């Protein structure tokens, strides 16, 4: 279904505003799909994002601050998010000997196993995104980068 039909609006003040609203609508649509797919695993998109970041740095551990900087979905309470993942035994926490204020977080084997399962579950996004060719995907990505660097 076309964007205009979805929101029941035919005219926009400019093509740029239409594109912006379409991006926001589509991002929300993807977030809803992701939330739906993660629900059986008792994970939020933010928790999945933390696991994705930690898997990418594995076997190295990251500080909570470093994870927060890399998050796609900015969240004010990273400590609470990490605590929930620790309670689920998906990540491990380590204190820093030199500076007790610094906390390192790494993904556990349970977390790695879950991420392997989630790769299959979330592969539906690969199928959806195949509607773009590589060149088109690069152009869209570059356009998004330009918007954020204004």
Side-chain half-sphere exposure of 142, counting CA atoms within 13 A: 6
| pLDDT tens readout for residues 24-56 | 999 999 999 999 999 999 999 999 999 999 999
6 within domain boundaries = no
Domain that holds residue 127: 43-148
Instruction: Report whether pLDDT(101) > 90.
Output: no
Instruction: Report whether pLDDT(150) > 90.
Output: no
30 within domain boundaries = no
List the alpha helices (DSSP H) in the chain. Answer: 3-7, 15-38, 45-57, 64-70, 78-87, 109-121, 124-129, 134-148
Sign for the pseudo-dihedral over CA of 129, 130, 133, 135: positive
123 within domain boundaries = yes
Tokens linked to 127? 């199928």
Identify the pLDDT of residue 100: 81
Instruction: Report whether pLDDT(68) > 90.
Output: yes
129 within domain boundaries = yes
26 within domain boundaries = no
Write the CATH number for 55. 1.10.10.10
∠ CA 36-78-66, rounded to 5°: 110
Model confidence at 95, pLDDT cuts 50, 70, 90, reads confident
Identify the pLDDT of residue 51: 98
13 within domain boundaries = no
> What total of structural domains would you count in the chain?
1
The pTM of this model reads 0.88
């Amino acid at each position: 279904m076309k964007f205009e039909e979805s929101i029941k609006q035919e005219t926009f003040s400019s093509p740029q505003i239409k594109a912006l609203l379409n991006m926001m609508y589509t991002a929300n649509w993807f977030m809803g799909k992701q939330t739906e797919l993660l629900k059986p695993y008792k994970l939020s998109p933010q928790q999945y994002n933390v696991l994705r970041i930690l898997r990418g740095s594995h076997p190295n551990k990251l500080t909570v601050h470093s994870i927060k900087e890399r998050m796609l979905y900015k969240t004010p309470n990273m400590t609470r998010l990490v605590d929930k993942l620790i309670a689920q035994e998906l990540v491990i926490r380590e204190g820093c000997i030199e500076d007790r204020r610094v906390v390192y977080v790494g993904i556990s084997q349970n977390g790695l196993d879950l991420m392997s399962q989630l790769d299959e579950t979330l592969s539906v996004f690969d199928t959806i995104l195949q509607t773009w060719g590589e060149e088109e995907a690069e152009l869209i990505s570059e356009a998004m980068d330009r918007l954020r660097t204004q």
